[in-house]
Amino acid sequence: MLSRVLAVVALLLLMLTYFGGTFWEFRDPVTGEIEFDEDNLSFQPFKFLIHEEDVEERDVAPELVEYMGDVIYEYFPEGSWGYWIGYRTMPVWRVSLEAPQYPKDTYPEGIPVFFTLTDFRGKTVEMNVINHYIGMDPMDIGAFTVRKLVPFVYLLFVLMIICFLFYSGPFWWVLGLIPALIPWYYLGFYSYWLYWFGHNLHDYGAFKIKPFMPTVLGDGKVAQFSTHSYPTIGFYVLLAVFFTLGLSILIKRRALQDLSI
């Protein structure tokens, strides 16, 4: 029973990271207003998940077609459908840049970007402009297909946890372990794409720098920019999923051992 209670808690926390993004929407640190940037097209679901017929299509730059396809969509879903297809996921990681040309009174937190499970929020356009200066591709191509798959991955994980609650046959623990590792999946993809961006620089950058590994966790320096990269609320909730589901597995394992004696 205790194992099941912990598994249900883990399930609820997992669903919170998917549906709870509205409670942590990015607000401008100066005005306090919710930031909405119509030029931020980082949310790109599969086409069959787009309900509205009059969604505007935009051509993808030729050099990015390899990573994003020919067309992206200007789509900002509203209502309950936005929740179901992953438009309201929680921010998991926060990155910010500081430089002398960004005064503290206007940018008290530098240029912040919050990475959710499915897109980016915050000063995404400004961040892409900065990345362009050092010859880096726009963030939008990062984990482009993986971010599209998040709704289906979450559905799979929810079903696995539900099966874990009642199944005790061979390899029952796999049903709990695979979804429990979700924070480490995220960190792995995040680290990989940071490496990819830092080692695939282009000659068009105004600042010529050598390939580098951007800071995954902590503070760093790139050209004249100070960088800050830290987990935020969503990652901590995912860690709670990991610990509660992991504890549930251990308790269930002990209980099954006792029953077999």
Q: In this structure, what are the phi and psi dihedrals at residue 221, rounded to the nearest 5 degrees?
A: -145, 130
The per-residue pLDDT for range 9-42, each reduced to its tens digit, is: 999 999 999 999 999 988 888 888 888 888 899 9
| CA atoms of 127 and 117, how far apart (whole Å) | 18
Ranges of H-type helices in the chain: 2-19, 65-68, 80-84, 124-133, 144-166, 174-180, 182-198, 233-260
Sign of the alpha-carbon torsion through 125, 126, 131, 134: positive
Give the other-Cβ count within 10 Å of 134's Cβ: 20
Task: Decide if 109 contacts 26 (C-beta within 8 A).
Answer: no
Please provide the average confidence, as pLDDT, over all residues in the chain.
93
The per-residue pLDDT for range 171-216, each reduced to its tens digit, is: 999 999 999 999 999 999 999 999 999 999 998 888 888 899 999 9
User: pTM of the prediction?
Assistant: 0.94
- Using DSSP, state whether 93 is helix, strand or coil: strand
- Percent of residues, the chain, with pLDDT higher than 90: 76
Confidence of residue 261 (pLDDT cuts 50, 70, 90): low
